[in-house]
Structure 1
Amino acid sequence: MRAIETVKVGIAEMKVVVAPTVIRTCGLGSCVGVVIYDSGKALAGMAHVMLPHSSMARGGVVNEAKYADTAVEALCKLVIAAGGRKAMLKAKLAGGAQMFSFSSTSGDMMRIGARNVEEVKRQLERLHIPVVAEDVGGHSGRTIEFNPQTGMLSIRTASQEIKEI
């Protein structure tokens, strides 16, 4: 029996896989792992989103995978290009933790995790892709792995048991 291949998605990257390959990303603190998948085709894409808005980019070219406002649509297009059916797409999310405590004077700017989650959800809603499960917020980092064959997202959080959604 062959070992199942795992494709790793780095920070500010996105990739698409077809079963039996699984897809994983590590180091989700305030970042959000977005999975868009078509279970009938057993394929999925994952993006490791760092920041909510591409307006935060400095300099020339914007890395679409880095920002929630660009990554979700770009990932959707990748999944469709790989054979996913727009009407059948669903999403699962994890991450968006508040990793550090800040004084109340730092305000909304330091709520990166919550703002990432809000923007990812806003973009998914705009594209009419339902969020069917999520594990977001809190104060701990996560590692996630999605199996497009089963549609299960495994979430490993520090000092907790592995959760499947």
Structure 2
Amino acid sequence: MNVIRVGMADLNIAAAPDSLRTTGLGSCVGIALFDPHAKVAGLAHIMLPTSANGAAEQNRPKYANTAVPMLLEMMAQRGAERRRIIAKLAGGAQMFTFAGQSDLMRIGPRNVEAVKEALALFTIPIKAEDTGGNCGRTIELSGQDGSLLVRTAKQGVMTL
């Protein structure tokens, strides 16, 4: 079994028995997708809600609205079918708060909202999530069974 690392503003896919891992999810969101029949997993580590002014052309995995279709396309190439894919989410923390904070500074919550909107466009159901709060996360998605291991310094380890 290999553990495939997914960096920040990155995405990748894996088939059973391999898994995918990303670290450093603060305000970023980890989008974990899984097709239980094909046993194909996909993981994206998005940094921002939406691309603007063509910025996504340089780095599609960086944004929720461009990472989701790209990940679905990659999974389909490995035999996954969109109608069977489920999603799990982690991250989207509000790492810092400031008095008089504008909506633009709510990066974590805005990322979570954008991911949910992007998944809804493709009718991908969200089966579990560990989002919000104020702590960073590391996640690992199993290509075997779709389980998502979430590690935090404050809350320990949980499986979604």
Q: TM > 0.5 between the two?
A: yes
1:51-130 to structure 2, matched below 5 A, reads 51-55=48-52, 61-104=57-100, 106-130=101-125
Q: Name the residue aligned to 2:25.
A: 28
Report deviation, 1:62: 2.9
Aligned length: 160
Structural RMSD (CA): 1.4
1:91-131 CA deviation, whole Å, 9 max, x = no partner? 11000000001222x31100000000000000100110000
Corresponding residue for residue 47 of structure 1: 44
- TM-score, normalising length: structure 2: 0.95
Q: 1:70-92, CA deviations, whole angstroms, 9 ceiling, x for partnerless residues?
A: 11111111111111011101111
Unaligned runs of 5+ in 2: none
Give me the whole-angstrom Cα distance separating, in 1, the residues matched to 2:86 and 2:120.
11
For normalisation by structure 1, the TM-score amounts to 0.93
Partner SS for 2:48 = coil
Task: Kindly indicate whether residue 159 of structure 2 is the aligned counterpart of residue 161 of structure 1.
Answer: no
* Fraction of identical pairs, as percent: 46
CA distance in 2, matches of 1:83, 1:121: 24
Hey, which bits of structure 1, 4+ residues long, moved more than 4 A?
none
Report the counterpart of residue 142 of structure 2 in structure 1.
147
How far off is 1:160 after superposition? 2.1
